[in-house]
Amino acid sequence: MSPDGSVAPLLWDDPWWLILIKVVGVFAFLLVLTLFTIWFERRVVGRMQHRPGPNWNGPFGLLQSLADALKLHFKEGIIPKGADKFVYIAAPVMCAIPAFLVFSIIPIGGPVSMFGQQTALQLVDLPVGVLAALAFASIGVYGLVLGGWASGSTYPLLGGLRSAAQVISYEIAMGLSFVAVFIYSGTLSMSGIVNQQHGGWYAWLLPVSFVIYVISMVGETNRAPFDLAEAEGELVGGYNTEYSSMRFGLFYLAEYINMVNVSAIATTLFLGGWQAPWPLSLWHGANTGWWTFLWFFIKVLLFLFFFVWLRGTLPRIRYDQFMAMGWKVLVPVSLAWILLVATARVLNNSTSLTTREVLLWMGIPLVILLLIIAFWPGRKAPPDTDGDYPGAGPDALLPEAGGQWQPEGHGIAGGQVVAPALGRYPIPPLDLAVPVAPRRSVLVGGAPPVGQQPPTDGDAVNGTGGHHVVS
């Protein structure tokens, strides 16, 4: 191994046939784990909703995902008439291939012996492995955007643009959450970061980075409650609305492989990778041989259960709330946390204070500051007096509106509705304002006498020949 704990020197001696076995193994592992994750998700959500879930094909329904995959293979692949055929076909491939590439740099186990050859359970260990993972994930965004654009339809285009904005926004927060790990580990190698956590996992040493990454990975994979790129009530199905057969299956496959990828990255950077958890780590042989793959697999399954648990419990949030959380909360908090971690690292290296002491002295003022911000009295929303509009009170009665109740900030000018001021709820832009149409009136019992003006809206008139009723 290299001084930073990287296993790259061990991988340099791998013969071509061993590399081929690893490639096939990674490919098969991802396919099988994807089928298992789909079954696992349906079974767990079924238990949460007091129903059995898939239980017909195979024992416990384990072959249901395989049956669905075979069904997609035999479905007719329809290409819309107005689609760009080349881009339409290439877009799902651009999503699936980067998803497979990310897992090639993940250390799924420690050094082992395979067919008499000493190697590591990792395909390749790059000096900048974490940055390569971010680069591969960024390429997948092009598949989402181009898939929505090439379909030649409006709804997939909106879904692709929304998905691109979502993924790019949360990739920034995800990348910033890695910086603190780089500062403490001193390396960007995946296996090097795992070996640097031998004395303690970074999830405990860098809890803010861990929480930010967990939130970002859910937004990055378009999973509930952040599945706004394919919100059925707004965008039908999102960027893949016009896709069928295995072209749709590739999008579906890429989504679940990305779930496995982000779970594996979280395990590697924050949960010690393939290292055994305490108290199993007290056993000398726990971090040797093929046992290391078992610990890695269990940690990944825990993150996959976390994805399923979120989908079964939390409702979808609004898109503006989702983007505001990414840009106004996660990114500023990440930058402030990086500054604190860098300061703590400098103090740790230049003074006699230990890491625990530095974090303790810096953490107490930080906690006090956060408590002050959390409980600082802020501006309260105006009371809802009539139950129709937030803040619509007696002062919201506009005489020019014919005595109708209007929320504050509304008005009528030249027959047009004036858009209200920005409040607690989103408002449409001015170009979507609808002119106010007068209410129709019906005369019951006959017409008014000659020379008498017809009654106005809002009046109830008893006169010759009948009375006036407002519809």
> Rounded to an integer, what distance in angstroms lies between the CA atom of residue 128 and that of residue 310?
32
Is the sign of the CA dihedral 76, 79, 85, 90 positive or negative?
Answer: negative
Tokens of 149: 């654009």
The answer to whether the beta carbons of residues 18 and 114 sit under 8 Å apart is yes
Burial class (CB in 10 A: 0-12, 13-18, 19+), 74: exposed
> Rounded to an integer, what distance in angstroms lies between the CA atom of residue 254 and that of residue 150?
18
> Rounded to an integer, what distance in angstroms lies between the CA atom of residue 221 and that of residue 254?
9
Let me know if residue 392 belongs to a domain.
no
What is the value of pTM for the model shown? 0.77
User: What is the predicted pLDDT for the residue at 387?
Assistant: 47
Amino acid at 344: A
- 284: which residues sit within 8 A by CB, 6+ positions away? none
Q: What single DSSP character describes residue 256?
A: H
> Rounded to an integer, what distance in angstroms lies between the CA atom of residue 257 and that of residue 133?
13
> Rounded to an integer, what distance in angstroms lies between the CA atom of residue 105 and that of residue 107?
6
Burial class (CB in 10 A: 0-12, 13-18, 19+), 229: buried
Is the sign of the CA dihedral 224, 226, 230, 236 positive or negative?
Answer: positive
Tokens of 220: 């990055």
User: What is the predicted pLDDT for the residue at 407?
Assistant: 46
Tokens of 25: 């193994």
β-sheet bridge partners, residue 462: 467
Number of domains in the chain: 1
β-sheet bridge partners, residue 416: 413
Burial class (CB in 10 A: 0-12, 13-18, 19+), 126: middle
Let me know if residue 274 belongs to a domain.
yes
> Rounded to an integer, what distance in angstroms lies between the CA atom of residue 354 and that of residue 349?
9
In total, the chain counts a number of residues equal to: 471
- 185: which residues sit within 8 A by CB, 6+ positions away? 4, 192, 193, 196, 197, 202
Let me know if residue 358 belongs to a domain.
no
User: What is the predicted pLDDT for the residue at 449?
Assistant: 54
- Among 243, 223, 221, 306, residue whose Cα is nearest residue 91: 243
Q: What single DSSP character describes residue 450?
A: T
Nearest-5° Cα angle at 293, 127 to 23: 60
Q: Count the neighbouring beta carbons within 10 Å of the beta carbon of residue 382.
A: 15
Let me know if residue 360 belongs to a domain.
no
DSSP structure string for 109-126: S-EEEETTEEEES-S---
User: What is the predicted pLDDT for the residue at 216?
Assistant: 93
Burial class (CB in 10 A: 0-12, 13-18, 19+), 415: exposed
CA distances from 221 to 141, 144, 213, 254 (A): 11, 12, 12, 9
> Rounded to an integer, what distance in angstroms lies between the CA atom of residue 141 and that of residue 64?
29
Is the sign of the CA dihedral 86, 87, 89, 90 positive or negative?
Answer: positive
β-sheet bridge partners, residue 444: 467
Let me know if residue 471 belongs to a domain.
no
> Rounded to an integer, what distance in angstroms lies between the CA atom of residue 97 and that of residue 100?
5
The answer to whether the beta carbons of residues 229 and 220 sit under 8 Å apart is no
> Rounded to an integer, what distance in angstroms lies between the CA atom of residue 329 and that of residue 219?
14
The answer to whether the beta carbons of residues 2 and 8 sit under 8 Å apart is yes
Let me know if residue 354 belongs to a domain.
no
> Rounded to an integer, what distance in angstroms lies between the CA atom of residue 442 and that of residue 69?
62
Burial class (CB in 10 A: 0-12, 13-18, 19+), 234: middle
Q: What single DSSP character describes residue 467?
A: E
Let me know if residue 439 belongs to a domain.
no
> Rounded to an integer, what distance in angstroms lies between the CA atom of residue 321 and that of residue 46?
29
What is the pLDDT tens value at each position of the chain, 471 positions in all?
666 677 888 888 889 999 999 999 999 999 999 999 999 999 999 999 999 889 888 898 999 999 999 998 898 888 888 888 999 999 999 999 999 999 999 999 888 888 888 888 898 888 888 999 999 988 888 898 999 899 888 888 888 888 888 888 899 999 999 999 999 888 899 999 999 888 789 998 888 999 999 999 998 888 888 887 776 555 567 788 889 899 999 998 998 999 999 999 999 999 988 998 888 878 888 888 888 999 999 999 999 999 999 998 988 888 888 889 989 999 999 998 898 888 888 877 777 777 667 767 777 777 787 778 778 876 555 555 544 444 444 444 444 444 444 444 444 444 444 444 445 555 555 555 556 666 665 555 555 555 555 555 444 444 444 444 444
Let me know if residue 394 belongs to a domain.
no
DSSP structure string for 340-377: HHHHHHHHHHHSS--HHHHHHHHHHHHHHHHHHHHHS-
Amino acid at 469: V
> Rounded to an integer, what distance in angstroms lies between the CA atom of residue 137 and that of residue 158?
21
Q: For 456, list phi and psi in degrees, rounded to 5.
A: -90, 165
Structural domain of 138 = 8-332
